[in-house]
Amino acid sequence: MAKSKVVVFEKANQPLEVQEFDIPELKEGCVLVKTVLSGVCGTDPHCWRGQVKGMPVPVILGHESVGRIDKIASDRKTDSVGEPVKEGDLIFWVAGHPCGQCHACVIEKDTTGCIARRSYGWSYSCADYPHLTGGYSEYVFLTARSFFFKIPDSVPAEAAIAFGCGFPTAVRGFDVMGGVQPGESVIIQGAGPVGLSCLVMAKLGGASPIVVIGAPPSRLELARRLGADLTVDISDLKDSESRIQAAKEAVGEVNLVIEATGFPEAVGEGLELVKTFGRYLVMGVFSDLGAVPINPTRIVIKNMRLYGSVFWEPKHLHRVIQLLAAHNDTLSLQDAVTHRYGLAEATSALEDVEGLKCVKAVIDPSL
Amino acid sequence: MAKSKVVVFEKANQPLEVQEFDIPELKEGCVLVKTVLSGVCGTDPHCWRGQVKGMPVPVILGHESVGRIDKIASDRKTDSVGEPVKEGDLIFWVAGHPCGQCHACVIEKDTTGCIARRSYGWSYSCADYPHLTGGYSEYVFLTARSFFFKIPDSVPAEAAIAFGCGFPTAVRGFDVMGGVQPGESVIIQGAGPVGLSCLVMAKLGGASPIVVIGAPPSRLELARRLGADLTVDISDLKDSESRIQAAKEAVGEVNLVIEATGFPEAVGEGLELVKTFGRYLVMGVFSDLGAVPINPTRIVIKNMRLYGSVFWEPKHLHRVIQLLAAHNDTLSLQDAVTHRYGLAEATSALEDVEGLKCVKAVIDPSL
Amino acid sequence: MAKSKVVVFEKANQPLEVQEFDIPELKEGCVLVKTVLSGVCGTDPHCWRGQVKGMPVPVILGHESVGRIDKIASDRKTDSVGEPVKEGDLIFWVAGHPCGQCHACVIEKDTTGCIARRSYGWSYSCADYPHLTGGYSEYVFLTARSFFFKIPDSVPAEAAIAFGCGFPTAVRGFDVMGGVQPGESVIIQGAGPVGLSCLVMAKLGGASPIVVIGAPPSRLELARRLGADLTVDISDLKDSESRIQAAKEAVGEVNLVIEATGFPEAVGEGLELVKTFGRYLVMGVFSDLGAVPINPTRIVIKNMRLYGSVFWEPKHLHRVIQLLAAHNDTLSLQDAVTHRYGLAEATSALEDVEGLKCVKAVIDPSL
Amino acid sequence: MAKSKVVVFEKANQPLEVQEFDIPELKEGCVLVKTVLSGVCGTDPHCWRGQVKGMPVPVILGHESVGRIDKIASDRKTDSVGEPVKEGDLIFWVAGHPCGQCHACVIEKDTTGCIARRSYGWSYSCADYPHLTGGYSEYVFLTARSFFFKIPDSVPAEAAIAFGCGFPTAVRGFDVMGGVQPGESVIIQGAGPVGLSCLVMAKLGGASPIVVIGAPPSRLELARRLGADLTVDISDLKDSESRIQAAKEAVGEVNLVIEATGFPEAVGEGLELVKTFGRYLVMGVFSDLGAVPINPTRIVIKNMRLYGSVFWEPKHLHRVIQLLAAHNDTLSLQDAVTHRYGLAEATSALEDVEGLKCVKAVIDPSL
């Protein structure tokens, strides 16, 4: 019986261990994928540090991954958009599985609100069938309910994984607030994968000017390369007042502010940067860090619209692939992958990502 | 030369004085109106108490008024929607005058953001031409730039003025957030004219159930008469936690929450009452009372949309009149006018409104 | 083994035959329903006449049905919106089953576009498992992929079925074009189940005035009872010109026109009735009857928006139930069920519906 | 008294005559502009041929013009967006003047529907004050009700005028239908100024792929230079069927089709090219050429949305200037100005535009 090397997370803060699992037999609708790259998301170190409650350890981490179809059930002839697929094709699969029979799934038709949603690399114990349920693994076993999309030959695996799950998160945020129109001014708070993906979306949509407020310098440099007209380093301008002043002097209040920081204090700062009749897309602060002082009068007096957005759906990942097919010649997102680790080096990967040493780190099981 | 009795506000906290002014001669595009009723808005006592900065005293208060056309310039044959008008017609005029040549007026096409906007009953000194610039007056002189609408015979003046400028404020808020759909659940925070007008809008739009949280009992009684399925008296449930619990037990989280209180603390409370994928319309807190603790994670994790809305435009007042023409047979809004004062009693009117003694108080110059 | 009486459609124009089928054993996720009422949709006679291509006869007709849960698999504890259900509960099930893995299902998130969709009462042969796949039957067997919703005790089965699949069709059309706002004027072309459901939606949303153009008199009478301010009988006004003139004289051009007739010629007529900046919802002409003369300049010069809408999704049926729970006390839709037939009388039901003898006909297997 | 050379249109088909008019004295709010360039719009030859009913001859043609402020009233300190202006500044003025007191202006807040709108270069007789009311003139006299915008130094006058009134028409069309999102596929019918402007808007918004169907070769070449992925020459593919086939083979049905041709037959063709759930923006067929065969079932069965759009508002011209300021470095729209005529050559300009000899022709009074 064929085997797969996997990296197992068992206990907080302990080095991850490489193990070998049997590969289950293929059933109706299933796909066995050979992992090409699995992104190390910024939340992975939090999982590893035990800060994410209720993970059903042992777990194989890795919820943003691309790979090649190794074996595919004979009844599954296409990807989730009806595109024919075959063994050898590069695909990007969706880690999450909505329940399909709840208020969010059926009535809202938006699975980001599914309270019974489970996700590969996160909420499946690898002790249970089908075991190969995370991207830090030589092989991944996709069950019949999985969504996945073919990546066209023109798009490198590195480009697809470069901003990981941050890119579909940004696409979904843009959907939720109606996108940008050419000529709109934008300020993005945060230069992580979500913030940089928002920059790409704003740039592709013709926004101008675009300001990114964040850190560290390596990411701000990438931001400028991707088209930010101005970057503000929060290590230089440490207090909110000075950042507000700098942004206003450079571009004034703007049509659209995007929060992609994770810090609730950023929201109060952002409200100052939105123009009258402007929009504020809030995505970063999904981990509950409690209440902070915010002045709601700004929302009223500036006739503002705010949009909260968390998670994403399969269609947003499909859009990412479409956008890369159309625009990666110019974007060259593969350059964002700065660090690459073998399965045995997964622990170092988590430490380096935690220490903000990488623009993007990936697990490459072939190393 | 014809004269008009007027009530002049000269100095904070001093009794208002009845004076007599000359009526200016009619010019091109102008209309002389004989006031039938002028509403005493909840902000009028604040003006009188000197809490509104920069009022160009002496001022004739009264920014929500209906009256009959006394004289109309021969070149002005219609109201602002093209409806023919003649002497004797009952009209509702718009107090505000946008500048017409600024970013809000020309680019946003939304005069609520016009920073040069001036308003009868508020920002015109009655020492200047055309003097008759507020509703607490026997006559009002509308210049060529004024907007006004004919009130059909089927609508009593009292119904038109019942919720005063609160009704177009609510209409505009509903416009901004796309209105309600039949079957949506709604919680309204606040039972003043804006809150009650929102109740009318929600009811007309088929929302169900509708909860109103506010005070005093007389207004909550009116709320129930207008179709609220449940009212929560904030004098009974004084703390936020207990109100949240009461509302959730009764109707759960809802599709739409509307803030019409003026208290920034209400916003944090409202965020708890919005359902996942729900909306929050924030209108009340337009006076800046500073920052309060708010948890922005609620916005993100519930995929919420927030809409700030302040002021209104002529079209929203026109909608009010249309809605009354179609629905006042059932609504019977005239019943909300509980107190009526002559010009000489204007000071008592301000005091009574300040003391929350009235559902709606009006100045009736014929008394 | 338990048995179910069923009505089988085998050959065009032949009388339907009552047969007896074995009831399959319950599997995971499945539900056995005892039919209470199955609506005779206006398309059912077309099926029977052989005008619907490719039906996999033998077929049990009936795609709009309510019934009581007879047996439910132990792992299925709720309906499709998470509401707990048990044996004996009255439910409304969704006939259609989208594929879940195509462009419409995954990317558009709108299963009305699913090209692999199959439907009970239409596209399942009753020769194949699970056999009990249409509403003209004593029992219906819902597989695990089925959607269904609990009907609250306050809603009679007759009210739920009264406009059959026309009601969710209307709800979906209203969703697609953003609904109506209180005070908007509406003209509805067609007085069948879709047209009458649109009338209910417009009325619940506060539209005024509402005009219905259609036939026969019994339906126009129901339209007036449901709140139409004016009905125009197309048997009286036979040509398009006279109908346009009558409508314009009564209410002028309107904010919203809705086509629910099935006749392509109605579209040209409707374009004349839409106001500048108005909307036109086109739903009836889903059967291709070819091109007709239409003047597209009307669309441009009136700055019009047109919305096509076909079919509906589970969420729209859920909305129907919600609306009935909130408003059927007033609507009393059960009164629309004018004719009731036992299984053995199914052929007569089809003939009567074809002959427009009924407002609504239903199959009641208990007769 | 200062004089201005003007070109006067008096009688259909007669050569235009250069005359000399007195320049009126400046009044409050007024601006005297020295014309730099006035575009020869495709409708100008139709005016000259007498095909536009009711022109109040004598008229100075020219409704899309840029010039420098020669004199400005001391009370007018800014352009229509509040930007300070002074003598010598290059500005783009809006030819149209809405009435400001009608249903479209006040209720719809959309002056494209103003039925009393008048326009320089079109609906003012130059026999009446202020006489200098068209762009084919050395000077133009802007009255106080005129809207105009400053053109930044970085934008050449030629770029601003390159697509004339076609560019704001396109911007408004995009506004009406919500714009494009990055990655959406687009087919544009028509390669005139409106079609090419739509191409610019689609490209700036990240659409991909973009197909332009039109003629002649010089415009299709410009289309490819501006980013069209494919152009289809209607002189090569003369029948609708072959164009539909060519487009579908190249890009399939698309998210967005835009009609910018003026031929009603194009609408039926366009409906075939829209994808299920796609949009169709119809702008070209604003001149009534009557009904043509159209199949409305396409609209329904493809769940399509159609948007009609005609004319534009000052804000759309302002957006044009903003977009040029941000993007003309890449667009280089000035290259589209292929022909330049002095005032005395205005008749030749009309003939050349009529004969489709120019990509863009302009009147340059300095020649």
The per-residue pLDDT for range C284-301, each reduced to its tens digit, is 999 999 999 999 999 999
Annotate chain B with three-state secondary structure.
CCEEEEEEECCCCCCCEEEEEECCCCCCCCEEEEEEEEECCCCHHHHHCCCCCCCCCCECCCCCEEEEEEEECCCCCECCCCCECCCCCEEEECCEECCCCCHHHHHHCCHHHCCCCEECCCCCCCCCCCCCCCCCECEEEECCCCCEEECCCCCCHHHHHCCCCHHHHHHHHHHHCCCCCCCCCEEEECCCHHHHHHHHHHHHCCCCCEEEEECCHHHHHHHHHCCCCEEEECCCCCCHHHHHHHHHHHHCCEEEEEECCCCCHHHHHHHHHEEEEEEEEECCCCCCCCCEEECCHHHHHCCCEEEECCCCCHHHHHHHHHHHHHHHHHHCHHHHEEEEECHHHHHHHHHHHHCCCCCEEEECCCC
- Report the half-sphere exposure of C269 (CA within 13 A, side-chain side): 26
**Arithmetic mean of pLDDT, B306-318:** 98
Mark out chain C residues that contact chain A at CB-CB < 8 A: 78, 80-82, 100-103, 106-110, 147, 313-315, 318
Q: Which residue of A has its CA nearest to C147?
A: A101
Which residues partner with C340 through β-bridges? C362
Identity of residue D83: E
Element (H, E) at A282: strand A274-282
> Which pLDDT score, from 0 to 100, does residue D1 have?
73
Q: Which residues of B209-221 are buried (b: 16+ CB within 10 A; e: fewer)?
A: bbbbbbbeeebbe
Instruction: Give dist(CA A239, CA D285) in Å, integer.
Output: 56
**Arithmetic mean of pLDDT, A14-36:** 97
Identity of residue A62: G
Selected for mutation to probe chain D from B101, B143, B316 (highest D CB count within 10 Å) is: B101
Query: Cα dist. A18→A12, A66, B260, C40 in Å?
Result: 16, 20, 59, 62
- Say how many C-beta atoms besides its own lie within 10 A of residue D154's C-beta: 11
Minimal Cβ distance to B323: which of C183, C322, C323:
C183
Q: What is the pLDDT of residues C198-254, one digit of tens each?
A: 999 999 999 999 999 999 999 999 999 999 999 999 999 999 999 999 999 999 999
pTM over 0.90? The answer is: yes
φ, ψ at D327 (rounded to 5°): -125, -5
Q: Structural domains in chain A?
A: 3-163+313-363 (3.90.180.10), 166-308 (3.40.50.720)
Query: Cα dist. A119→A56, A363, D118 in Å?
Result: 11, 18, 62
Tokens of D80: 């229509």
Tokens of D364: 């340059």
D234 vs chain A: nearest CA distance in angstroms?
A: 27
Is there a contact between C309 and C282 (Cβ–Cβ < 8 Å)?
yes
> Which pLDDT score, from 0 to 100, does residue A1 have?
73
Q: Is A318 helix (H, G, I), strand (E, B) or coil?
A: helix
Is there a contact between A70 and C274 (Cβ–Cβ < 8 Å)?
no
Q: What is the pLDDT of residues A45-65, one digit of tens each?
A: 999 999 998 899 999 999 999
> Which pLDDT score, from 0 to 100, does residue B327 have?
96
D354 vs chain B: nearest CA distance in angstroms?
A: 34
Which residues partner with B97 through β-bridges? B118
Residues of A in contact with D175 (CB under 8 A): 181
> Which pLDDT score, from 0 to 100, does residue C278 have?
98
Element (H, E) at A186: strand A186-189
Tokens of A220: 């701000």
Instruction: Give dist(CA B219, CA B221) in Å, integer.
Output: 5
> Which pLDDT score, from 0 to 100, does residue C5 have?
98
Q: Give me the residues of chain D with pLDDT under 70, please.
A: none
CB contact under 8 A, D106 and B78: no
> Which pLDDT score, from 0 to 100, does residue B307 have?
98
Which residues partner with A229 through β-bridges? none
Cis peptide before A58 (omega within 30 of 0): yes
Q: Which of D166, D172, D203 is nearest to D186 (CA)?
A: D203
Residues of C in contact with B174 (CB under 8 A): 181
- Say how many C-beta atoms besides its own lie within 10 A of residue C178's C-beta: 15
Q: How many CB pairs under 8 A join A and C?
A: 48
DSSP structural state of residue C197: H
**Arithmetic mean of pLDDT, C53-65:** 96
CB contact under 8 A, C308 and D289: no
Is there a contact between C315 and C7 (Cβ–Cβ < 8 Å)?
no
Measure CA D269 to chain center.
Answer: 24
Q: Which residue of A has its CA nearest to D205?
A: A205
Q: Which residues of B180-189 are buried (b: 16+ CB within 10 A; e: fewer)?
A: bbbbbbbbbb
Minimal Cβ distance to D300: which of C290, C305, C310:
C310
Instruction: Give dist(CA D136, CA A264) in Å, integer.
Output: 58
Residue linked to tokens 């859920």:
C318
Minimal Cβ distance to D315: which of B109, B313, B314:
B109
> Which pLDDT score, from 0 to 100, does residue D270 have?
98
Judged on CB neighbours under 10 Å (0-12, 13-18, 19+), B46 is: middle
Q: Which of A196, A251, A255 is nearest to A225 (CA)?
A: A196
Sign for the pseudo-dihedral over CA of C301, C302, C305, C308:
negative
Q: Which residue of D has its CA nearest to C283?
A: D300
Is there a contact between D230 and D250 (Cβ–Cβ < 8 Å)?
yes
**Interface predicted TM-score (ipTM) of this complex, two decimals:** 0.96
> Which pLDDT score, from 0 to 100, does residue C1 have?
73
Is there a contact between B37 and B65 (Cβ–Cβ < 8 Å)?
yes
Q: What is the pLDDT of residues C315-335, one digit of tens each?
A: 999 999 999 999 999 999 999
Pairing of the two strands C292-294 and C337-341: unpaired
Q: How many CB pairs under 8 A join C and D?
A: 128
Instruction: Give dist(CA A137, CA A58) in Å, integer.
Output: 14
Instruction: Give dist(CA C98, CA C313) in Å, integer.
Output: 9
Instruction: Give dist(CA A46, CA C120) in Å, integer.
Output: 48
**Arithmetic mean of pLDDT, B316-342:** 97
Query: pLDDT above 70 covers what percent of chain B?
Result: 100
CB contact under 8 A, C327 and B201: no
- Which residues have CB under 8 Å from A26's CB, separation 6+? A32, A71, A72, A73
CB contact under 8 A, A300 and B306: no
CB contact under 8 A, B110 and A303: yes
Q: Which of D28, D57, D53 is nearest to D133 (CA)?
A: D57
Pairing of the two strands D139-142 and D65-72: unpaired
Q: Which of D131, D177, D176 is nearest to D5 (CA)?
A: D131
Query: At B1, is the pLDDT very low, low, confident or very high (cuts 50, 70, 90)?
Result: confident
- Say how many C-beta atoms besides its own lie within 10 A of residue C74's C-beta: 7
**Arithmetic mean of pLDDT, A272-286:** 97
Minimal Cβ distance to B107: which of D81, D102, D108:
D81
Q: Which of A258, A252, A256, A218 is nearest to A235 (CA)?
A: A218
Mark out chain D residues that contact chain A at CB-CB < 8 A: 174-175, 178-179, 181-183, 201, 204-206, 208-209, 319, 322-323, 326-327
Q: Which residue of B has its CA nearest to C183?
A: B323
**Arithmetic mean of pLDDT, A212-229:** 97
Tokens of D54: 């009711």
Judged on CB neighbours under 10 Å (0-12, 13-18, 19+), D16 is: buried
Residues of A in contact with D178 (CB under 8 A): 178
Which residues partner with D361 through β-bridges? D339
Minimal Cβ distance to D107: which of B78, B107, B315:
B315
Q: What is the pLDDT of residues B136-163, one digit of tens each?
A: 999 999 999 999 999 999 999 999 999 9
Q: How does the average pLDDT of chain B come out, rounded?
A: 97
Residues of A in contact with D329 (CB under 8 A): none
Q: Is C235 helix (H, G, I), strand (E, B) or coil?
A: coil
* Sheet strands (E) in chain D: 3-8, 17-22, 31-39, 65-72, 90-93, 96-97, 118-119, 139-142, 148-150, 186-189, 210-214, 230-233, 254-259, 274-282, 292-294, 305-308, 337-341, 360-363
Tokens of B302: 């519930």
Q: What is the pLDDT of residues C171-200, one digit of tens each?
A: 999 999 999 999 999 999 999 999 999 999
Q: Which residue of B has its CA nearest to D103?
A: B81
Minimal Cβ distance to A302: which of B295, B297, B308:
B308
Element (H, E) at A67: strand A65-72
